A and B are shown apart, each in its own frame.
Chain A
Amino acid sequence: MSSNNSSLLLKNIRLIDAGQNRDEKNLDILLRDGKVAEIAPDISFAADQVIDLDGAWVMPGAIDLHVHLREPGFEYKETILSGARAAVAGGFTSIACMANTRPVNDSAAVTRFILEQARSAPAKVLPIAAISKGMAGEELVEMGDLSAAGAVAFSDDGKTVANSKLLRHALEYASLFNKPLLCHCQDNALFADGVIHEGLISAAHGLPGIPTLAEDIDIARSIMLAEYLKVPIHICHLSTAEGIRLVRSAKDRGVKVTAEATPHHLFLDERAVIDLACGEVLDDSLKPNQLRYNTVTKMSPPLRATTDVSALREALADGTIDVIATDHAPHEATEKAVEYELAPFGVIGLETAVALGLRLINEKVLTPLELTARLSLAPAEILGLDDRGSLAVGMAADLMIVDPELEWTVDPEKFYSKARNTPFAGWRMQGRVVKTIVDGKVVFNL
């Protein structure tokens, strides 16, 4: 984004910012030239624009280090522009997009194309390059060239780098550039033709199961490599209690491992496959026959057992899970309107994640400060973005304004994303992003 030679004064805010460890009411924040200029109880400055927020929350803009924007190659699912619009509507000011486009983002040319397309986007778009050429798991991409072109991380997300020697060298080589590897951990042979969690629901309904083991074995392998090489590693979308245990004990040993969890794994379990409502009081937008085997419950890793969900929430609270990331995976409606076993994996999340995060506060899983740590501070640190993730003076003026009381119902028809494949349709929420500001400029206004 180009910086903004203007000033905006937000008055009467509650500032919530883990980076400064501040959760304080009755403050004003002045944004000048795209940066945070001053935070004080009563700022008198003749700003170009003054907004009295009447006690609304101001939090650093959320940073999603795991989204799929589908461009180039699958623009019918999502474009960089539509994905970025969805992002800012949900409070995300920076989004890191995975490399599984067509062509795969395995060359500086593709990275530059993504950045070029992102110039008109309302959010900051950060390309993640593939680890291996064509994500084929055979040869390393030109990490130096890609880093220079603007890649912020490397990942063969959706696929695992099954060859441990290749993964070893990827970790070693990426450390030259201080770029993290984001690992989608999955043992492909154990994953096999699975479509849902291997557990009670797969046993009862005959849907092929994905064992937790398929994830855990690969998390263990990834952690062992990082520990041996003394390099950082980031584990994508943890979903299992055992995976959490592995990450927690690695952190205790001092391994530089970080981990993320998605909102859908924090709020839904395997039972959603046969009853999408699953205890939630939905509005009547879903017909009864849409509640069973609805493909919006199909993603990888799958929705796990209730015990995994509680372990995930505990790990999010105690910091074992550093980051909430959406794994925003848009698909066109007809692609999902097929037999469950044939449907593509993935759900969207950019426009519901922060609201679900606010719900975690209401449910006493997280404090507001912890939420900003998981949504902003930690992802900025992992990606090495030292100009954002916090609203300290001098940082980029990337922020979201939240009305914590606002009640609303998730209506996918109103999404900015091109896609509608959310499992949260009809959910009644309390708390919503009402304005999003990037580089001092209002880019979303409810």
Chain B
Amino acid sequence: MGFERKDLLGTRDLSAIEIRSLLESAESFKEIAERPLKKVPALRGKTVVNLFFEPSTRTRTSFEIAAKRLSADAVNMSVSTSSVVKGESLLDTVDNIQAMAPDIIVVRHKFVGAAHMIAGRVGARVVNAGDGANEHPTQALLDMLTISEHKRLGPGLTVAIIGDIAHSRVARSNIWALTTLGVTVRVCAPPTMLPRELEKIPGLVVCERPEEALAGVDVVMMLRIQLERQDRLLFPSIRDYARIFGLNRQRLDLAAADAIVMHPGPINRGVEITSEVADGSRAVILNQVSNGVALRMAVLFLLGGQSYE
């Protein structure tokens, strides 16, 4: 196989070959979801700990289903970050988990680099399920898997990512994966949510207006707007945001006729995307969710299942 890392911490450092081999492997896991008995023994006897320092029902459930379909023992551990700040340090928490000898630790944390810290500390394989605004590699990879079902994923393809780029790990992981694969990436956000110097990242086109970003594009990725950001003076109101940056039918018409619409979920209907578009024929939002399970099975398998080859 083309994936020989101890951990999956991000897409930034992945080569095109690594990404392609992860996607290939995910393809082969897709059909398990179609079976009446949705289980293979690939990771029997392996322990996967879902260590979530930040609430996330979807991602955690997706990893849990992926692990269980591979016959691994999946254990969920939720730790509230506030109690961590006051009490046990991250490394102490992780040492405790390592002492129970898990094979894979899936970690979600609100701060950048937490998964890297853990990976450097433990012998277990670590999958980053989101670290602050940095990376969320399995989301980007499941997005690649979804795009490849509809489009030729490579040079010639143009993807627009629209929303709160500054605070989005989904945006970053997608930017790295897409640019590595030679895809042209346009990003668009209110200036308050666009990181300074983003334009210096090779392969990125920064667009001021969504109309510009959408023109003729093959794939539209809308990002979830975190409503609490309004308190931080980043935009005046949800209404104003939706008016200028929300994806509606008229704006979608600017994209290529066969453009697909993606969203990492959960969606804020009527904010970054109208219900008409979200439930429309071009939306592949639920395919993303299904592909998430297959992709995460591939990741867990490649990290933890070599001995079952």
Contact in complex: A211, B196 (CB < 8 Å): yes
Contact in complex: B195, A293 (CB < 8 Å): no
Contact in complex: A341, B112 (CB < 8 Å): yes
Contact in complex: A340, B195 (CB < 8 Å): no
Given contacts A199-B197, A207-B132, A209-B195, contact A339 B90 (CB under 8 A): yes
The docked-state distance in angstroms from the alpha carbon of A371 to that of B131 is 43
Contact in complex: A293, B196 (CB < 8 Å): no
User: In this complex, what residue of A is CB-closest to B132?
Assistant: A206
The docked-state distance in angstroms from the alpha carbon of A341 to that of B200 is 24
Contact in complex: B112, A207 (CB < 8 Å): yes
Contact in complex: B114, A339 (CB < 8 Å): yes
| A interface size (C-beta, 8 A) | 24
Contact in complex: B112, A293 (CB < 8 Å): yes
Given contacts A205-B134, A206-B134, A290-B120, contact A340 B196 (CB under 8 A): no
The docked-state distance in angstroms from the alpha carbon of A337 to that of B90 is 9
Contact in complex: B90, A202 (CB < 8 Å): no
Contact in complex: A289, B90 (CB < 8 Å): no
Residues of B close to A203: CB separation below 8 A: 195-198, 200-201
Residues of A close to B195: CB separation below 8 A: 198, 202-203, 209
A415 → chain B closest CB, angstroms: 22
The one of A292, A293, A338 that contacts B90, using a Cβ cutoff of 8 Å: A338
Residues of A close to B113: CB separation below 8 A: 205, 207, 292-293, 339-340
Contact in complex: A342, B196 (CB < 8 Å): no
Residues of B close to A163: CB separation below 8 A: none
Contact in complex: B111, A339 (CB < 8 Å): yes
Verify if A414 is at the interface (C-beta below 8 Å from B).
no
Verify if A253 is at the interface (C-beta below 8 Å from B).
no
User: In this complex, what residue of B is CB-closest to A202?
Assistant: B195
Residues of A close to B91: CB separation below 8 A: 337-338
The docked-state distance in angstroms from the alpha carbon of A334 to that of B168 is 29
Verify if B20 is at the interface (C-beta below 8 Å from A).
no
Given contacts A199-B197, A206-B169, A206-B172, contact A292 B111 (CB under 8 A): no
- Which has the most chain B C-beta neighbours within 10 Å: A199, A206, A293, A341? A206
B91 → chain A closest CB, angstroms: 6
- Which has the most chain B C-beta neighbours within 10 Å: A208, A289, A292? A289
> Chain A 276-287 against B: per-residue CB contact (8 Å), 1 yes, 0 no?
000000000001
Contact in complex: A204, B172 (CB < 8 Å): yes
Within 8 A of A (CB), among B161-198: 166-169, 172, 195-198
Residues of A close to B114: CB separation below 8 A: 339
Contact in complex: A206, B167 (CB < 8 Å): yes
Residues of A close to B172: CB separation below 8 A: 204-206
Verify if B99 is at the interface (C-beta below 8 Å from A).
no
Contact in complex: A206, B133 (CB < 8 Å): yes
The one of B85, B112, B169 that contacts A340, using a Cβ cutoff of 8 Å: B112
Residues of A close to B263: CB separation below 8 A: none
Residues of A close to B112: CB separation below 8 A: 205-207, 293, 339-341
User: In this complex, what residue of A is CB-closest to B109?
Assistant: A339
A296 → chain B closest CB, angstroms: 13
- Which has the most chain B C-beta neighbours within 10 Å: A200, A205, A342? A205
Verify if B226 is at the interface (C-beta below 8 Å from A).
no
Within 8 A of B (CB), among A326-370: 334, 337-342
Residues of B close to A208: CB separation below 8 A: 133
Contact in complex: A199, B196 (CB < 8 Å): yes
Given contacts A202-B195, A204-B201, A206-B172, contact A289 B134 (CB under 8 A): no
B124 → chain A closest CB, angstroms: 14
Verify if B273 is at the interface (C-beta below 8 Å from A).
no
Residues of B close to A204: CB separation below 8 A: 12, 172, 201
User: In this complex, what residue of A is CB-closest to B114?
Assistant: A339
Q: What are 20 A-B interface contacts by the 8 Å CB criterion? A: A199-B197, A205-B113, A206-B132, A206-B133, A206-B134, A206-B169, A207-B132, A209-B195, A209-B196, A211-B196, A289-B120, A292-B116, A293-B112, A338-B90, A338-B91, A339-B90, A339-B109, A341-B112, A341-B132, A342-B111
Q: A203-B197, A289-B116, A339-B113 are in contact. List 19 more A-B contacts (CB 8 A).
A: A198-B195, A198-B196, A200-B200, A203-B200, A204-B172, A204-B201, A205-B112, A205-B113, A206-B133, A206-B168, A207-B112, A209-B196, A211-B196, A287-B120, A292-B116, A339-B90, A339-B109, A339-B111, A340-B113
Using a CB–CB cutoff of 8 Å, the interface residues on chain A facing chain B are 198-200, 202-209, 211, 287, 289-290, 292-293, 334, 337-342
